[in-house]
Amino acid sequence: MASFVQASAAPMSFGIYLFGIILVIGGLAYGAAMLHAPVQWIVMAALVLLGIGVVAAVKATRQRDPAE
């Protein structure tokens, strides 16, 4: 008989995690624009951060398979 240990904290949903990442990217992009960074670098950095954020969101919110 296998016993499963439940985590005490509820996992964050993918949508909330992704919304937070997009909010952070927006703030960083705004700051970079205020510093007069070139637009192509702002877009490139935003896309890289979005990709990292999606991978992190999937990793943090995926359902674990129970051990058999």
pLDDT at 15: 87
Query: How is the chain split into domains, by residue range?
Result: 36-61
Against a cut of 0.85, is the pTM above it? no
Joined together, the tokens standing for residue 10 give 């509820």
Residue 68 CB partners (closer than 8 Å, separation 6+): 2
Residue 53 CB partners (closer than 8 Å, separation 6+): 17, 18, 21, 22, 24, 25
pLDDT at 62: 80
pLDDT at 66: 73
Average pLDDT across each block of 10 residues of the chain; the chain has 68 residues. List them in order: 50 85 96 97 96 91 74
